Amino acid sequence: MKRDIYAKLLSWKLSSRRKPLLLQGARQTGKTFILKEFGLHEYVNTVYCNFEENPALDQFFQRDLNPERILSELAIYMNQEIRPEADLIIFDEIQVSNRALNSLKYFAEQKADVHIAAAGSLLGVKLSVPGSFPVGKVNFLRLYPMTFPEFLTAMGESRYREMLENVDKFVPLTEAFHLDLIDLLRRYYFVGGMPEAVKHFAEGVKASEIREIQLEIIKSYVLDFAKHAPAADIPKLSRIWESIPKHLAKENKKFVFSAVKKGARGRAYESALTWLEDAGLIHQAYAVESAKHPLKYYADTSCFKVFALDVGLLGAIARSPVELLAQGERLFTEYEGAFVENYVAQHLVSNLSHPLYYWRSKGGKAELDFLCEFADQICPLEVKAGINTKSKSLKSYDLQFKPSRLARTNLLNFKKDDKICNLPLYAVSLLTRLLTTAA
């Protein structure tokens, strides 16, 4: 279970400023599971309403959006008493019902003592439409695929998760621990963080069957393209989705529209890219030339990279051989280190509250993988697939901007050389905390 999300749900429940909650996230990231678990452990009763599985639920919101009437009729229909404060109402796949989504405004204003948590796999797409939802009337929370520390817990390796969470200096771990964590990281690169794939892998299911699970998840995404995206964008969505490994396999990993389809132009594909990002299926990292706060004002939105939401699904899209799982460090270097950079992007998105950026010098002679923006600093992060620490780009950035710290992540152990802080790839989730607190 995602402990951080559960803690945020608990904080939401206890808040004096609580409003209906919208839990966003891509399909099959575990939204329904965690809401049901939360209801089971923190409430007397849970009233579960799935608008996709039961379209009839939409009828209760058609006459008007009076919370008293809706609650009364829902209680009869679900054959469950609904008690303020004591019970949790879950509106799952709420994006299917416009009226149910808009009713949350009236619950916030008129029935604040009723606890409602809504979820939807395409909520981001729905809410991106101007005027689709009254701003300020809900609390938002986003769920991502499981991170590597969460994968450790699922694999029965909580000891290593706890050990990493207690790291407070750039001091090498005992080599035996370091090698074990690299081996577990290699497995994560293949399995990824989709809960179903992780659950079955932890139970000993074969790698070939894990790949089938991943392909089924991808198939569900493609079906969403056909069911919910604008008709003109459907073929574009598929082309972009399938081209992600091709772009990440290039040395500079920059997304180029002509690689999606010969002669394609950005303007024709912008809406499809936005749809995929709103659906939570991709993350974009924008180039900046000037490392100044806030980075978004210096971003070149015409120059960007595209990452998949999950490193395991990236491998499935690329049809990477299942045998890679048993081939040592080859998984780290395959496709020009595409898995490594996607893995880091996935964890930065999960841990930071802003979009992804990377640095490109004027003229494009030097490039750094990511820029991490904290409260009072911008820290460059260099990503390496192996143990090579040479980097002209990191030196070039240092000469130009003179940051207090430089970060590097690779397969080496924790280490600090002057201002260069080396973080093992398996510990990239600790980046923000260590760079702001560690000596």
Would you kindly state where each structural domain of the chain is located, as residue ranges? 3-142, 148-437
pLDDT value, residue 75: 97
Under 8 Å between Cβ of 314 and 342: yes
**CA contacts within 13 A on the Cβ side of 129:** 10
Report the DSSP pairing between strands 282-288 and 299-308. antiparallel
Q: Where are the alpha helices (DSSP H) in 261-303?
A: 266-278
Q: For 435, list phi and psi in degrees, rounded to 5.
A: -70, -20
Name the 3-class secondary structure at 367.
strand
pLDDT at 326 over 70: no
Confidence at residue 161, expressed as pLDDT on a 0 to 100 scale:
97
φ, ψ at 305 (rounded to 5°): -115, 155
Least confident of 50-54, 242-246, 325-329: 325-329
Read off the pLDDT of each residue in 431-438 and give the average, rounded to a whole number: 83
Confirm if 287 and 359 have CB atoms less than 8 A apart: yes
Whole-Å CA distances, 59 to 73, 97, 106, 112, 144: 10, 9, 17, 23, 31
Up-side HSE of residue 316: CA atoms within 13 Å toward CB?
24
3-class SS of residue 359 = strand
CA dist 347 to 226, 277, 427, Å? 29, 16, 10
CATH placement of domain 3-142: 3.40.50.300
Tell me the longest C-alpha to C-alpha distance in the chain: 69
Please tell me the least confidently modeled range out of 80-84, 134-138, 285-289, 343-347: 134-138
Burial 319-334, CB ≥16 within 10 A → b, else e: ebebebbeeeeebbeb
3-state SS record for 166-235: CCCCCCCCCHHHHHHHHHHHHHHHHHCCCHHHHHHHHCCCCHHHHHHHHHHHHHHHHHHHHHHCCHHHHH
Kindly report the pTM of this predicted structure: 0.93
Which token pair is 98? 């416009």
pLDDT at 387: 78
Residue in 384, 389, 388, 355 with CA at minimum distance from that of residue 372: 355
**What's the first-to-final CA gap in the chain, in angstroms?**
32
Q: Tell me: pLDDT of 330 over 70.
A: no
Q: At what angle do helices 158-165 and 175-191 cross, to 10 degrees?
A: 110
The H-or-E segment that residue 316 falls in is helix 311-317
**More confident of the two residues 336 and 340:** 340
Instruction: Please compute the mean of the pLDDT values over residues 195-213 and round it to a whole number.
Output: 96
The stretch 205-234 carries a mean pLDDT of 94
Nearest CA to 386 out of 412, 408, 406 is that of: 412
- Is-contact 119 401, C-beta < 8 A? no
Q: How many CB atoms lie under 10 A from the CB of residue 22?
A: 24
- Residues 6 or more apart whose CB falls under 8 angstroms from that of 400 comprise 361
Asked if residue 420 lies in contact with residue 428, where contact means CB atoms within 8 angstroms, the answer is no
Average pLDDT, integer, range 319-348: 79
- Whether the per-residue pLDDT at 439 is higher than 60: the answer is no
308 vs 221: CA distance, rounded Å:
12
pLDDT recorded at residue 9? 97
